[in-house]
Structure 1
Amino acid sequence: MNDVSSVDSSVVHRLGFVDGFNGKRNEVLFCGTPNPEHNVVFFGGDVQEYPEVMLAHRDNKNYIQWNLENTCRLLADKFPRSHVFIIKPSSMHLKTFSSYMNFVESDIMGCPMHSEGQQSWQSLSALLENSVAKVHPEFSPSLEVPLDIIGFSKGCVVLNQLVYDMKADDELTKKVRGLYWLDGGHNGGSKTWITDLKLLEVLASTCINVFCHVTPYQLGDSNRKWIAKEQKKFVSVLRRLSAKVSNTVHFEGEERNLDLHFKVLTEFV
């Protein structure tokens, strides 16, 4: 890769497999500007892949607009003066269903089994450190700037696990400026949103800004009615705990569909 001083934020670099914590590895994409003021980490949802993979898929090609490279550029535009890192899932079942098993114990479909002590922060820290080394070996100071972490759809399971593993005095936690839950959802039977009081108390005790952006695609799912109930409780409990939380419902009143679900990516900032 070229020296980071000449990096063009519109150019997306595939860093390939990056070493994480305890022998785990994830593929990472990067784009950004020189001398970042903050870092952005993104965990995507089902379907999102490299453009050529999506184009080769009978169904997923219909959503090619939301491929990971386009998403990386979109985030770079939304967060100027930033370094953007997209961490790919550990696996994509049937080239569609994302599983982030390197962050949270999950089944092949990506349904999480949350519990404390899964070392998700260590995984994130190692991936960031080694990704920066691949971008430019001498650019470690970029790890000292504030951090925004974004989960979209299935990617929100990683944010949830980070909360399970959160300690208010953790060094990386102190760098987090904002956590963004974008229309979180998965195929499991519950725990799409965190409702455990003790976990939310830890989150509320930090200085982290919590942003929730949701659409009828998840909130209006008649087959998964628990999503709306859990999301409402997540926000209400954090507000009662005086956390810095905002909640935005996009496309309210419109018919739920996958296009609007993806479109939250363009609307959330």
Structure 2
Amino acid sequence: MLTRTVAVGFSLITVAETMTTAAATTSSESRGLHTSAGRDAPSSSPLRRLQRLAAVPGFDPGRVNDLLLLRPDTGGQSGSQPKEESGNRHVVFFHGDIQNFQEDMALQPEGAQWLSWSLEQVALTLGRRFPGKHIWVVRASRMYLHKFSCYNNFVESNMFGAPEHSPDFGAFRHLRALLSHGMERANLPNPLQPHGDANSIPSGFSLTLVGFSKGCVVLNQMVYELAGARADPQMSHFVKRISDMYWLDGGHPGGSETWVTSKEVLKELASSGVCIHTHVTPYEVCEKYARCGPGWAVMDQR
């Protein structure tokens, strides 16, 4: 469909498959993640590279999100890339329904059985798929009934998180400011600036966006905003640094807008130079599965 559509090979197909089948992490490992903070973990553990950042503001004070940052493991790097460039590669992940921080999921009957897919565990999985990159997990600003992820800061949504897309909600502006303030909070060197022209983008900065299940509504919203963002002198240089976008089994409990189908909007995406990766399962694309229930029930059906 798109000129640069790429079938998922190396990428995140393994992540999507394992996230939509039986959990691959043992319950003992999940309990260990729940009880071990970064400083308390063994020196060799990747948990030491995890950092939670609470209530990080976006482009206006009313939009805040919790972030989880996994710093890259630099111990095994060869040093062939300049330090300032290799340190500015970032992956941003938007999670699905029922996924949350480990301790929050453990308190909920529906969540406790899926601790292997807590935000912390997914960050570690992404860290293995994208070595050398900073992994950012964006927690949905609201979890209705502790199950439905609602990305109200990125897209107009109803109480269940089903989106109402528009071309000017400000998803790109919020993401940029969120990353900028998150990088400052985490004391990363040479952070992204919350707004500005090409000079405000750090050297070597690149961005990969990943949505899973409900999290794909954020990526869809960004596609609708793409034309305006590319024409905006304050946003165009940031958008140009997005190298890849991954849709992993996208879906939500609304009756429409699961996929972007507007030809004009898709033409803009095709001309942007962003590499597109998609992976789906029968639950989201086959009618007999789609009738099973709302988004959070997906994990129980797969």
The two structures have a TM-score, normalised by structure 1, of 0.78
For 1:78, the equivalent position in structure 2 comes to 129
- Deviation by residue 1:114-169 (Cα, 9 ceiling, x = unmatched): 01111110000000000100111643169542110000000000000000111345
1:175-254, aligned counterparts within 5 Å? 175-222=241-288, 224=290
- CA distance in structure 1 between the aligned counterparts of 2:71 and 2:287, rounded to whole angstroms: 36
Change (3 A) 1:7 1:143: farther
- Deviation by residue 1:51-103 (Cα, 9 ceiling, x = unmatched): 11111111211111000000111111110110011111010011110000000
| Greater Cα radius of gyration, structure 1 or 2 | 2
- Would you say the 8 A contact 1:43–1:158 is kept in 2? yes
Change (3 A) 1:260 1:188: closer
For 1:134, the equivalent position in structure 2 comes to 185
For 1:165, the equivalent position in structure 2 comes to 225
Within the candidate set 68, 71, 87, 1:29 is matched to 68
Identity of aligned residues (%): 36
Q: CA deviation at 1:258?
A: 2.5
- CA distance in structure 1 between the aligned counterparts of 2:127 and 2:260, rounded to whole angstroms: 28
Within the candidate set 145, 154, 160, 1:103 is matched to 154
Give the alignment's Cα RMSD to 1 decimal.
Answer: 2.5
1:40 aligns with 2:91: yes
- Would you say the 8 A contact 1:42–1:86 is kept in 2? yes
For 1:18, the equivalent position in structure 2 comes to 56
SS of equivalent residue, structure 2 residue 70: strand
Change (3 A) 1:104 1:7: farther
SS of equivalent residue, structure 1 residue 59: helix
SS of equivalent residue, structure 2 residue 115: helix
- CA distance in structure 2 between the aligned counterparts of 1:77 and 1:137, rounded to whole angstroms: 21
Q: CA deviation at 1:220?
A: 2.4
Q: CA deviation at 1:257?
A: 6.4
Within the candidate set 236, 243, 258, 2:299 is matched to 258
- CA distance in structure 1 between the aligned counterparts of 2:301 and 2:89, rounded to whole angstroms: 28
The two structures have a TM-score, normalised by structure 2, of 0.70
Change (3 A) 1:259 1:118: same
Change (3 A) 1:220 1:88: same
For 1:266, the equivalent position in structure 2 comes to none
SS of equivalent residue, structure 1 residue 140: coil
- Structure 2 alignment gaps of length 5 or more: 1-37, 75-85, 193-200, 292-296
Within the candidate set 183, 186, 211, 1:151 is matched to 211
- CA distance in structure 1 between the aligned counterparts of 2:220 and 2:298, rounded to whole angstroms: 24
For 1:115, the equivalent position in structure 2 comes to 166
